[in-house]
């Protein structure tokens, strides 16, 4: 039987690939245009880590092709789209490899002729194009468009996994720690969020989940070492620590890591830490 998370991943990946193939086929069927404002281009294998500070466009993803340079400014709009992409990757259990290449569709919004030095430098770019991204496709994962193809169906498949993970609402930290293996084994981001305190920033939740997931996979599990504090006597907002023991990356290495839990009403919520 296919695991619900794997089924959700495959559903989203299949829908995204079909949507990307249709977009790419349509654009490649159009007559070629001179690179200039208004031209829509397809880029395959764009490396989002190739970033430079540009004197006009600011921080940008930069691509060189022949004597032309293409800039994708990292403005607030693009930063928001990248954040959406990362959120979806975490939600569906894909590892975030920041060096993973993208396929993209982009429009040229401005073209500039570049001044050449004297004497001219061989291979120096002569034209520069500033672009805005329309679609981002991560091969084998998903396509980020105005809507994400197949997202609703994939979310429905993912929802089937949530009832199998028990996150006790009024449990002490030790029982919440016991719920972590099922969450990490299934890469279930939504279930992890149920553990988190409202005061923990989303970026911190995301970072903690990604670190824990990778540590879980590399170490093969953990055991509860001890609890620092007295949960049964803790007041509202008080923090206790659970210490978890796991294998390190070196032979025979043992690591003990703290997780923080904060008292909220009758229960506890994850407040930070690493595995």
Instruction: Kindly state the average pLDDT of the residues 219-233.
Output: 84
**Same-domain status, 147 and 184:** no
Range of the domain at 265: 161-273
**Same-domain status, 42 and 91:** yes
Task: Give the chain's domain count.
Answer: 2
**Same-domain status, 184 and 262:** yes
Q: What is the percent of the chain with per-residue pLDDT over 70, rounded to a whole number?
A: 91
Residue 1 has pLDDT above 50, yes or no: no
What's the whole-number average pLDDT of the chain?
Answer: 85
pLDDT at 147: 87
Please report which confidence band the pLDDT of residue 43 belongs to, taking 50, 70 and 90 as the band edges: very high
Residue where one domain finishes, among candidates 108, 136, 155: 155
**Same-domain status, 243 and 173:** yes
The tens digit of pLDDT for each residue in 84-119 reads: 888 888 888 786 666 678 999 999 999 999 887 666
Residue where one domain finishes, among candidates 155, 187, 214: 155
Residue 190, preceding peptide bond in cis (omega within 30° of 0): no
**Same-domain status, 112 and 51:** yes
Q: What is the percent of the chain with per-residue pLDDT over 90, rounded to a whole number?
A: 27
**Same-domain status, 175 and 144:** no
pLDDT at 219: 80
**Same-domain status, 92 and 166:** no
Specify the CATH number for the domain of residue 197: 3.10.450.50
**pTM for the structure as a whole:** 0.71
Residue where one domain finishes, among candidates 123, 155, 187: 155
Looking only at the bridges linking them, the beta strands covering 68-73 and 127-138 are parallel
Higher pLDDT, 214 or 77: 77
**Same-domain status, 166 and 182:** yes
pLDDT at 129: 94
Residue 2 has pLDDT above 60, yes or no: no
Please report which confidence band the pLDDT of residue 184 belongs to, taking 50, 70 and 90 as the band edges: confident
Looking only at the bridges linking them, the beta strands covering 254-264 and 142-144 are unpaired
The tens digit of pLDDT for each residue in 27-39 reads: 888 887 788 899 9
Residue 149 has pLDDT above 70, yes or no: yes
Higher pLDDT, 164 or 52: 52
Instruction: Kindly state the average pLDDT of the residues 185-199.
Output: 83
Residue 143 has pLDDT above 50, yes or no: yes
């Amino acid at each position: 039987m296919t695991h619900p998370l794997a089924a959700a991943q495959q559903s989203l990946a299949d829908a995204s690939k079909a949507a990307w193939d249709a977009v790419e086929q349509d654009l490649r069927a159009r007559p070629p245009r001179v690179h200039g404002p208004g031209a829509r281009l397809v880029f395959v294998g764009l490396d989002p880590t190739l970033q430079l500070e540009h004197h006009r466009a600011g921080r940008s993803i930069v691509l060189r092709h022949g004597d032309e340079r293409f800039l994708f400014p990292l403005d607030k709009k693009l930063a928001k789209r990248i954040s959406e992409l990362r959120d979806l990757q975490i939600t569906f259990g894909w590892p975030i490899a920041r060096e993973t290449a993208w396929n993209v569709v982009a429009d040229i919004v401005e073209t500039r002729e570049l001044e050449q030095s004297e004497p001219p430098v061989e291979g120096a770019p002569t034209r520069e194009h500033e672009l805005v991204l329309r679609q981002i496709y991560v091969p084998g994962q998903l396509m980020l468009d105005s809507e994400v193809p197949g997202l609703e169906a994939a979310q429905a498949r993912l929802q089937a996994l949530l009832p199998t993970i028990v996150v006790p609402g009024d449990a002490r930290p030790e029982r919440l720690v016991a719920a972590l293996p099922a969450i990490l084994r299934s890469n279930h981001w939504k279930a992890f969020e149920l553990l988190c305190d409202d005061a923990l920033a989303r970026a911190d939740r995301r970072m903690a989940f990604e670190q824990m997931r990778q540590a879980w996979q590399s170490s093969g599990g953990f055991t509860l070492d001890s609890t620092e504090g007295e949960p049964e006597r803790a007041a509202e907002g008080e923090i206790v620590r659970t210490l978890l023991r796991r294998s390190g990356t070196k032979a025979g290495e043992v690591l003990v890591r703290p997780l923080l839990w904060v008292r909220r009403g009758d229960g506890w919520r994850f407040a930070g830490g690493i595995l």
